[in-house]
Amino acid sequence: MSTMTAAPYLMSPSQLHESLSSGGVTVLDASWFMPNSPRKPHGEFNKKRIPGAQFLDLDQVASPHELGLKHMMPTESVFAAACERFGIEPNSHVVIYDTHGVFSSPRALFMFRAFGHGKSSILDGGLPRWETEGFETENAPPVDVKKCTYPTPILDRTVVRSYEQVVANSILDPALDSSAELLVDARARGRFMGTDPEPRPGLPSGHIPHSFSVPFNAFLRTHTIPNISTQYTTFLPLSELRQAVVDALGAEQAELVFTGRRRITTSCGSGMTAGILWLGLRMLGTPSVSLYDESWTGYASRSESRIENSG
């Protein structure tokens, strides 16, 4: 893959606008909504998008799963084929956004980074912030891009955790075993505690043993657009991100994580908002961060999984 310097994790609308003027940038709309949402991301993309953007369907650029789970990490060949359809070359700067502000774009960024495409960023604040800061959108039919050749990459398997790895790690108590990885769960605290239901019918709530609750919105700031009451999210400043990790893990464990002496894995409902925790930790310079691809849906769907329902 490209040996060029990695791009910044975050870009502002003005930075993206300037980069678009310079060329060499591919913009992808990776919007995704929860299964119980009536919103349709591809339909919204067709009605309004950043000029020149293409739609990245994370449920399609994915691998099939024995439990029918969506948006699982694609194979190397599937990822390369998607890049070729988008006209992405190894040296292309890929900028990803979503319509929430920050929600599904970090998961898409995780995919690009895991396959070694370091020239990738997200638009912090997404499409709502782009519009709020006065930049134009388009709604004409998308223009076909020129396909290119994208060499088949190698997935960094050290950043993706499987069910078997998570189960083996859940047996270890991080307070007693220095080899245990910390697992942070981005779901709402009520779902983590087992007091609120999961949005997916029939799936129990609760949490993986020895995991920590870090709701993804603990890493985000909510903004309200004047006059229309529409809200969107951006990442917190680094100092506040760091404090959010300390608050969740405690100062001692957080320091071990920040310095790479303790690995950390992010999880959520289905592997989507785990990307937010992954990105926040990477922005803080955390060296050893993985993502549990199946997350809670895969874990709790298996009858043999041990589920805890206390804080």
Q: Phi and psi for 267 in degrees, rounded to 5?
A: -145, 170
H-run or E-run covering 165? helix 163-170
Asked if residues 285 and 257 have their Cβ atoms less than 8 Å apart, the reply is no
From 268, 274, 279, 291, active-site residue: 268
Q: How far is CA 94 from the centre of its chain?
A: 15
Rounded to an integer, what distance in angstroms lies between the CA atom of residue 282 and that of residue 265?
12
Residue tagged 């088949």 (tokens): 152
Q: Is 148 a catalytic site residue?
A: no
Total count of residues recorded for the chain = 311
CA distance 245 to 277: 10
Cβ within 8 Å of residue 223, ≥6 positions away: 101, 125, 129, 132, 231, 232, 233, 234
Dihedral angle over CA of 102, 290, 69, 126, nearest 10: 10
- Taking the C-alpha atoms of residue 232 and residue 137, their distance in angstroms, rounded to an integer, is 17
- Residues annotated catalytic, as ranges: 268
